[in-house]
Amino acid sequence: MNILFIADPLASFKIYKDTTFAMMREAQKRGYQIFACELHHLVWQSGQAVNAQVQQVHLTGKQDVWFEMQGAHADRALHSFDAVVMRKDPPFDSEYFYATHLLEQAEREGAKVFNKPSALRNHPEKLAILEFAQFISPTLVTRDTQAVRAFHAVHRDIILKPLDGMGGMGIFRVKDDALNLGAIIETLNRDGAETVMVQKFLPAIAQGDKRVLVIGGKVVPFSLARIPQGGEVRGNLAAGGKGVAQAISVRDQEIADAIGPVLAQRGLLLIGLDVIGDSLTEINVTSPTCFQEIFDQTGCDVAALFMDALESAAA
């Protein structure tokens, strides 16, 4: 197979934990040719197919200089690859949105893109949980300041977060005393200009914000509980959380079995469900992570499971 990875600059990867790197390593292990590009390398011109300026990548096996580019940049049509793996990290901004349209055009020309571009657009990571409300905690999505205050008056201890955040960015907790609630609302909703999500605080965060991976509609048998450290309310690894792998619980399995096959049918080959206690809090579709942490602690080769699914989907 020839696989194109659309990702952030390779030099920015922290390979000891990067999931895209784990995918690349597994692909090279199987003898596949690996190529890489960034969003700004995508081009369409009338009379031509969607193409990208790509470079072939060889993984060296070293920790410092971990990749080598083989040959110069070359323009290639996306449909000339056996699979295109979209792994650009959030934010899901206008440029990401436009890229999904270019990738959808590439699909019409015969390219096989994972995750499916239209599915990426249709499942924003915060709002995708609304479809599966039976699994979520009390949640409010609004621009209205008074609606947020009323929600706090009922639930007394809440979490507020922007819809376009990642890695725990912009998450606030407001306890019973409502300290700084007004200032936090103003910061997040920009005086009513932007929508925010508000959720009841879940004390089970002390046991971790679990990342449950689902590949091809099937749950990976281990999750990664990201446990807040040092008085933090956020368990995200990017916010200093400690990752502890653990077997999938009965509740995790129930949630994954209900959501995984539905989203797989829509073209989402890989998703990451965030679960706190018994409640679903987010559905990650852009570039779900935690492959390496789960493998390092359990021996469960998530990258191999993903590559098996990619081979099957691209066949």
Instruction: Report d(CA 42, CA 38) in Å as an integer.
Output: 8
C-alpha separations of 22 from 109, 173, 296 in Å: 29, 34, 12
Instruction: Report d(CA 307, CA 85) in Å as an integer.
Output: 11
**Chain CA centroid to CA 126, Å:** 11
Active-site positions read 126, 161, 211, 226, 234, 274, 282, 284
Residues 6+ apart with CB under 8 A from 45: none
**Burial group, residue 56, by CB count within 10 angstroms (0-12, 13-18, 19+):** middle
